[in-house]
Amino acid sequence: MTASSKKTNRPAGPSKKGAGHSATSVKDYRLDPRNARRHPERNMSTMEASLRELGAGRSIVVDREGVVIGGNAVYEKATELGIPVREITTKGDELVVVRRVDLATDDPRRKALALADNQIATLAEWDEVVLSELLAEVEEIEFETMGFASLVPDPSRSVPESVSLAERFLVPPFSVLNAREGWWQARKRAWLSLGIQSELGRGNQGDGRQHGLTYASSCQPPSVYNAKNRYEAKIERRVSWEEFYAAHPDAAVQSGTSIFDPVLCELAYRWFCLPGGAVLDPFAGGSVRGIVAAILGRRYVGIDLSKEQIGANREQAEAICDDPCPVWHVGDSRNIASLTNGVEADFVFSCPPYADLEVYSDDPADLSTLGYDDFCRDYAAIVAETCTLLKPNRFACFVVGEVRDKRGHYYDFVGDTVQAFRDGGLHYYNEAILVTQLGSLPIRVGHPFEASRKLGKTHQNVLVFVKGDAKKATKAIGPVEAGDPLAFAEEEDALSGGES
């Protein structure tokens, strides 16, 4: 049965035999034993439902021996459903059109078929091993012009059998990185268990000055809000967050200071910096980027205005790191070349101040104290000077986010960062979205959205640039290191119950 039982919904049966057409049996064809596309159960069940309810859409392609070239999953399900086949012979010099005479343009089933046709293809996935083998066997074909530029293999490198993208690259190298996933959170805990406390040296140091990026005391997940509500109900009055924390000093889940994600650091270093390479960070802040670099064998050099911050960073690094130990310099990154003695960097990696979103200190040299126009001027100058210290054919990565002005409009800080690197002579090469934790956003977002339609921001932009040629930069890095420098695997196995 090829459609639903309602007569009006049945796809049209095959037309009478015409010129160039031949009726044939589905048994005359064979599935491609080296098909590079995998079809998970969801893909196949969706394919079956579409064929049953909407009928056949696209045609399939076979070679002269009858082996399917394109449409293996469609053919497999059509065989199971007993859908008849009509063959059209061609040498590829004409386009075969399938006209569905039962579907008008405004027919809801026609619209459903258009959606299903596109969606079903996205549910399949590449078999990386077979794909690499096939690409290597057709070197004479210009596959780079067909969207396979990043997949064409290097003949000098071999891909191990049955290796997933995650096994090869830690996470699939897609443009969305999800820091909420259990794997990501387990790995983050493993990094922090080394003793990384990036919040030390930040925030209020007892002198009335703010030395680090701080969040409001109310920036907590819903569970903390619920605890505060229960406390207020118990004492029968409203209390401030300070009074609540005084009564419940261990209630806060989030520290109140921003902590750079160590897993993102690890990915950035493994993907874009050669082993043993020099990392230059013009806006160092806390200890995370330096310590992760050192653990992964990269030589880190960071600059920060705060003497207290650098002191705390050095103390942590001495307790955690061996050789190479990260190096931090106290100073203004406007003078980065002289502060670092003209270091030649293999990778630039940083997270700059987000304009005046949070004021780090009252130091007049601090970019976060400036108006946006002055901020952009000095920020672009620092980026340009940093770019001169980056070796040719190397990558740079900045993690940024959009910032609103006092009227609630975005400055376009992401765009200004891209322009700063372009003015510094680099090419804009990759962008990824880092999906971050929700925290208290579900509680905080309601009022501003209802009042002005402001969306709750729960991501950062990971911007990657290249100085020179990306292929030469990639060759300098070599294969991605996918091994664990720490005992991450044990914790992940424990969390997953030991399942592989």
Average pLDDT in the chain: 80
Residue 459, both tokens: 């991501």
At 363-392, the pLDDT tens digits run: 677 777 778 898 899 999 999 999 999 999
Highest mean pLDDT out of 358-367, 412-421, 430-439: 412-421
Residue 489 has pLDDT above 70, yes or no: no
Residue 108, both tokens: 């809801």
Closest-CA residue to 193 (of 487, 493, 482): 487
Residue 306 has pLDDT above 70, yes or no: yes
Confidence (pLDDT) at 5: 38
Superfamily of domain 176-200+256-495: Vaccinia Virus protein VP39 (3.40.50.150)
- 114 or 461: whose pLDDT is higher? 461
At 157-198, the pLDDT tens digits run: 555 555 678 888 988 999 999 998 888 888 888 888 888 876
Tokens 């044990």: give the residue. 490
Confidence (pLDDT) at 150: 52
* Cα gap 42→48, rounded to integer Å: 10
Which burial class, exposed, middle or buried, applies to 451 when counting CB atoms under 10 A from its CB (0-12, 13-18, 19+)? Answer: exposed
CA 248: distance to chain centroid? Answer: 37
* Cα gap 311→320, rounded to integer Å: 15
What mean pLDDT do residues 85-89 have?
A: 88
Kindly state the greatest CA–CA separation across the chain: 90
Those residues whose C-beta lies under 8 Å from the C-beta of residue 276, and which sit 6 or more positions away, are 297, 298, 299
Residue 215 has pLDDT above 50, yes or no: no
Confidence (pLDDT) at 159: 53
Are 404 and 410 contacting, i.e. CB atoms less than 8 angstroms apart? Answer: yes
Which burial class, exposed, middle or buried, applies to 70 when counting CB atoms under 10 A from its CB (0-12, 13-18, 19+)? Answer: middle
Question: Which has the minimum average pLDDT: 198-207, 247-256, 260-269, 462-471?
Answer: 198-207
Closest-CA residue to 363 (of 340, 331, 403): 331
What mean pLDDT do residues 310-337 have?
A: 92
SS3 204: strand
Domain boundaries, the chain: 7-126, 128-163, 176-200+256-495
Helix (H) or strand (E) holding 440: none
What mean pLDDT do residues 295-318 have?
A: 93
Tokens 């796809």: give the residue. 11
At 117-170, the pLDDT tens digits run: 888 888 888 777 777 777 777 766 666 666 665 555 555 555 555 567 888 898
Confidence (pLDDT) at 124: 81
- 236 or 160: whose pLDDT is higher? 236
Closest-CA residue to 279 (of 159, 390, 139): 390
What mean pLDDT do residues 57-73 have?
A: 88
* Cα gap 220→229, rounded to integer Å: 13
The reply to whether omega before 324 is within 30° of 0 (cis) is: yes
Residue 348 DSSP class: E
Per-residue DSSP letters for 239-282?
--HHHHHHH-TT--SS-SB----HHHHHHHHHHHS-TT-EEEES
Helix (H) or strand (E) holding 172: none
Are 314 and 340 contacting, i.e. CB atoms less than 8 angstroms apart? Answer: no
SS3 429: strand
Closest-CA residue to 386 (of 478, 286, 302, 498): 302
Confidence (pLDDT) at 380: 95
Residue 409: which region, alpha, beta or left (left: phi > 0; alpha: psi -120 to 50)? Answer: beta
End-to-end CA distance of the chain: 40
Confidence (pLDDT) at 208: 35
Confidence (pLDDT) at 360: 57
- What share of the chain has pLDDT > 70, as a percent? 77
Residue 20 has pLDDT above 60, yes or no: no
Rounded CA Rg of the chain: 29
Are 260 and 267 contacting, i.e. CB atoms less than 8 angstroms apart? Answer: no
Residue 262 has pLDDT above 80, yes or no: yes
The pair phi, psi for residue 23, each rounded to 5°, is: -75, 140
Question: Which has the minimum average pLDDT: 30-44, 114-128, 133-147, 404-418?
Answer: 133-147
Residue 94 has pLDDT above 60, yes or no: yes
Q: Evaluate if pTM is beyond 0.75.
A: no
Residue 500 has pLDDT above 60, yes or no: no
* Cα gap 392→347, rounded to integer Å: 10
Question: Which has the minimum average pLDDT: 10-14, 54-58, 153-157, 267-271?
Answer: 10-14
Residue 490 has pLDDT above 60, yes or no: no
- 412 or 3: whose pLDDT is higher? 412
The pair phi, psi for residue 49, each rounded to 5°, is: -65, -40
Which burial class, exposed, middle or buried, applies to 498 when counting CB atoms under 10 A from its CB (0-12, 13-18, 19+)? Answer: exposed
Are 300 and 292 contacting, i.e. CB atoms less than 8 angstroms apart? Answer: no
